[in-house]
Chain A
Amino acid sequence: MHAFEYAAPASVADAAAALANEDAKVLAGGQTLLPTMKQRLAAPSVLVDLRKIDGLSGISREGDALVIGAMTRHADVAASKVVQDAIPGLAALAALIGDPAVRHRGTIGGSLANNDPAADYPAAALALGATIVTNKREIAAGDFFKGLFETALEDGEIITKVKFPLPEKSAYEKFRNPASRYAMVGVFVAKTKAGVRVAVTGAGSSGVFRHAAMEAALAGNFSPAAIAGVKTDASGLLSDLHGDADYRAHLVGVMARRAVEAAA
């Protein structure tokens, strides 16, 4: 690890000010950032730790939405009665992230900001039509994810919370990478007032994506049978040691059917 400065501001405004330093970076749970720094793949000049800022973590129901603070840890989402009642698929998703140590440190804000193509939360955010709230604006999930490790966040912009509109039905099915246990294929299906949405993580070579053909097929008939014949184009999918694009394309179908079955 290279040397760096450490700041623990008490407010979002102070954090934003600290982030004005060149190469400053937000530190949330550190579960992605710190390993990258240890491998010397990242060398921020200042780490701006959000932990001391009040009000950045917590879970609440606000009308038709579930609101989760950016610093809320995966373990808290998984264990939350509020989440389990409102969006059980989301609680289940959080319980599938990493291992207990990771879940007790890693945060939803960190996961979304990082936008790892194999991360789980992006699938939920996209399928549920979440709104990512920052210190500057509100960004619709559909506009937020911009490819591998890329998001709509500008330099120094801080995610403060995420708003999930409550779906009628939803579920997440994850095929874990055998080694890392990140998503090799994760499919989040949601039947919402705005229609059926199917988001796929782990598989796409430019990150999380919506599966239009499945959404269309499920719109009229929300059942596994409706998508049994829907094919997934392998051309935009990742190939690696653990599975080529054809296998991933096949798994998208299997996970989607299982998710619909679990949700229905």
Chain B
Amino acid sequence: MSATGLGASVKRKEDIRFITGKGRYVDDINRPGQAHAYFLRSPHAHATIDKIDASAALASPGVAAVFTGQDIADDKLGGLICGWMIHSKDGSPMKAGAHPVLAQGKVRYVGDHVAVVIADTLSQARDAAEKIVVDYGVLPAVADPAKAVGGPNIHDAAPDNTVYNWHLGDKAATDAAFASAAHVTKLDLVNNRLIPNPMEPRAAVGDYDSGTDTITLYTTSQNPHVARLVLSAFIGLAPEHKFRVIAPDVGGGFGSKIFIYAEETVCAWAARKIDRPVKWTSDRTEAFLSDAHGRDHVTHAEVALDAAGKVTGLRVHTIANMGAYLSTFASSVPTYLYATLLSGQYNIPAIYAEVDAVYTTTAPVDAYRGAGRPEASFVVERLIEMAARETGRDPAEFRRQNFITQFPHQTPVIMAYDIGNFAGALDKALEHADYKGLPARKAASAAKGKLRGAGFSAFIEACGIAPSAAVGSLGAGVGLWESAEVRVNPIGTVEILTGSHSHGQSHETTFAQLVSERLGISIDNVSIVHGDTDKVQMGMGTYGSRSGAVGMSAISKALDKIEAKAKKVAGHVLEAAESDIEFKDGKFTVKGTDKAIDFASVALQAYVAHKFNGQELEPGLKESAFWDPTNFTFPAGVHICEVEIDPDTGIVTVERYTAVDDFGKLINPMVVHGQVHGGIAQGIGQALMEGAKYDEDGQLVTASYMDYTMPRADSLPSFTVDTIETACPSNPLGIKGCGEAGAIASPPAVINAITDALGHEDIAMPATPVAVWRAAQKRPRLAAE
């Protein structure tokens, strides 16, 4: 292993730029003559728009334009789309209501876009927006997904607010397993609604060049090419060759910047309309109200065991909140990203899942770090832990008894696990967590009047999304391959153009490590180019922990081609047969001789081309590749959380947190640990603190940090993070992906620890102090009391 090659914990190249304030984010971009957009948002959760009078706003100082849904309709701009078709049990397609860029006739959540005011300054735009008079006909709201059916109808296209009633698995076989079960464990749970809160809020600058009739959109996107595709092909903003999308430095996304939103659409469209750059930066309140939220499931789940403790069946019914409109990938999250993981790490012969997706008068819900898989692991790992407790089995050994041990393994819910070593992770986790010492630590806590408990989570997820043919057959509107181009410059430096997009994932470092390893050059001689549709031809972007497994595989494939071409060049220069050229450590040598040439010299020769004659060999050293995976990848691991509860206050302290994960081969262990740390922090946030709350009127109660609790550094212990390795067989690098694992694994580990400490299962997420205090009153009396 070289100092900067694969497997080395190389310090992040991008950090110097970021920590010295030299990052260039969308809000840092200002175009000459730019105007500012302010969105007038609905104060009501559900209302008809009877009239909009913008005359006073138009006359307000500095105002360039005021646009409403009518202007968008007049321009025949399409609505925002949901790119994944789901069919209901009865075969009917999902019932998607229209999602106009600016509201037309009706608003459907607090924060919905009623109008946009564009003015010389943001302050002027805001002042003018206060002068717009809107007559609303207020309608009843419904925020709770369990109450959506039978609630006020939100879209004409979706009677009873139902988008689809979907199912997966074999119902008859599952019912049979339950009919003959020795024990059934049942659980009702809510997977709490989360607000993503990336550090950088969303932003957009639309810039129109009337000379070339070209729009440039700077936007906070995880996938600028998908944004261009959707805005071009579906919304009809401009054809792709007249439309450039740039996502420069982006400060975190967690899924929320995958989607195509109204604001960037309007900025791009309005820039052409008024022939002036138009800028919008979300403030924090707008982010709370209008970024796509995550999770929000209400679930009933059951698991069946035989007398020996073997899991024989699992059935789940979930109501999934879609919010007021179907966001870009919303429909896939509670279906193919969720129910397909309900087998967990276990050999379960029969599984049946039903999912009802409903509209409510809340912000749209879509993929958020883990997307469907955290919801699945929460169901499975809560159920498994409870089943062990109810049948008097040790939760670790009960898991081990039911682990899948033979690979490949076909689950009853589509996924075919390629490889894994679940018991290996469990053993290591038990050791790191000092599970044997738990009884003594529980006694020590009890002596202080505290309650201590430990909880497991043996999670699995499917990432590296995804094989295009497979997702296509499941309803995806696009294939999920990735592209790469390797440009070797004449002096031997390398530019990697990738369709992946880094917004916290460290690509500038890890991708360069791959090049360093393969070409034997320093990572300082490699730059990673991403996030610009004029530079990178096409790509699918970053989400679903796909940039390593899919994005780097594409780079690897392109590097294969570079190596092949470079060997030809070296052969020419060294006057040897191409088949006699060997490439190692950045040097081309003629087999069995001391004739050699280094990589940089080959690059130069490729461009000066003095030694090529005519058509025999093309000059240049540049190759591209598309990589389409053949399977998902399956990161898995065992997390053990240990908590202490102060029963007087209900405060839960995470005392120990152990994570042992199998991500396949690691490119940069330090970066992997960082991703795991962040994911665990978010998962602990979900378990203990975070939860979006709407009131009866559909007002978002948790619309600021005064009420929405984020995890902070001092809420977390030092984590023990370790890995085991089974190399992924479906990509050349053997990597699985690590970006979401922490957030997928940790919520059930935390809640299982709390329920262990409490001695009963009755606690929901977020387990806030007041909730835990109440739950602690209910606990069975301790022997000591």
Contacts and interface: CB of A to CB of B under 8 A. Distances in A.
Interface of A: 1-3, 39-40, 175, 178-180, 241-244, 247, 250-251, 254
Contact of B708 (A3, A39, A179, A254): A179
A247 B774 CA distance: 9
Nearest to A254: B648
12 contacts: A175-B649, A178-B768, A178-B769, A179-B705, A179-B707, A180-B706, A241-B707, A242-B707, A242-B770, A247-B774, A251-B649, A254-B649
A242 B688 CA distance: 12
B118 interface: no
Contacts of B272: none
A244 B770 contact: yes
Interface in B551-589: none
A1 B123 CA distance: 7
- Main secondary structure on B side of the interface with A: loop
Contacts of B768: 178, 242
Which has the most chain A C-beta neighbours within 10 Å: B127, B689, B701, B706?
A: B706
Nearest to A3: B123
B288 to A, nearest CB: 12
Which has the most chain B C-beta neighbours within 10 Å: A1, A175, A178, A247?
A: A178
A163 to B, nearest CB: 32
A250 B285 CA distance: 33
Interface string B681-698: 000000001000100000
B769 A241 contact: no
B519 to A, nearest CB: 46
Contacts of A250: 773
B709 interface: yes
B342 to A, nearest CB: 32
B649 A241 contact: no
B770 A180 contact: no
B615 to A, nearest CB: 67
Contact of A179 (B126, B127, B648, B706): B706
A248 to B, nearest CB: 9
Nearest to B646: A254
B770 A179 contact: no
A241 B770 CA distance: 9
B702 interface: yes
Contacts of A241: 693, 701-702, 707
A2 B130 CA distance: 12
Contacts of A40: 126
Nearest to A244: B770
Which has the most chain B C-beta neighbours within 10 Å: A179, A244, A250?
A: A179
Nearest to B690: A179
Interface residues of B, number: 22
A63 to B, nearest CB: 39
Given A178-B689, A178-B768, A180-B706, 15 more contacts: A1-B123, A3-B123, A178-B709, A179-B689, A179-B705, A179-B706, A179-B707, A179-B709, A241-B693, A242-B707, A242-B769, A243-B769, A247-B770, A250-B773, A254-B648
Contacts of B285: 39
Which has the most chain A C-beta neighbours within 10 Å: B650, B689, B770, B774?
A: B770
Given A243-B770, A247-B773, A250-B773, A180 B707 contact: yes
A40 to B, nearest CB: 8
Closest 9 CB pairs of A and B: A179-B709, A243-B770, A180-B706, A178-B709, A247-B770, A254-B648, A179-B707, A241-B707, A179-B708
A49 B708 CA distance: 32
Contacts of A254: 648-649
A178 B127 CA distance: 34
A40 B38 CA distance: 14
A251 B649 CA distance: 7
B590 to A, nearest CB: 64
Interface string B631-667: 0000000000000000011100000000000000000
B591 to A, nearest CB: 64
B595 to A, nearest CB: 64
Interface in B714-771: 768-770
A241 B691 CA distance: 10
Nearest to A243: B770
Contacts of B705: 179-180
B648 to A, nearest CB: 5
Contacts of A178: 689, 709, 768-769
Contacts of B123: 1, 3
A85 to B, nearest CB: 27
A241 B768 CA distance: 10
Contacts of A242: 707, 768-770
Contacts of A3: 123
Contacts of A247: 650, 770, 773-774
A242 B709 CA distance: 10
Interface in B168-205: none
Contacts of B650: 247
A65 B59 CA distance: 60
A247 B768 CA distance: 12
A91 B458 CA distance: 46
Interface in B57-115: none
B116 to A, nearest CB: 18
A244 B693 CA distance: 15
Contacts of B708: 179
Nearest to B715: A178
Nearest to B648: A254
Contacts of B648: 254
Contacts of B649: 175, 251, 254
Nearest to A118: B706
A166 B650 CA distance: 34
A250 B650 CA distance: 11
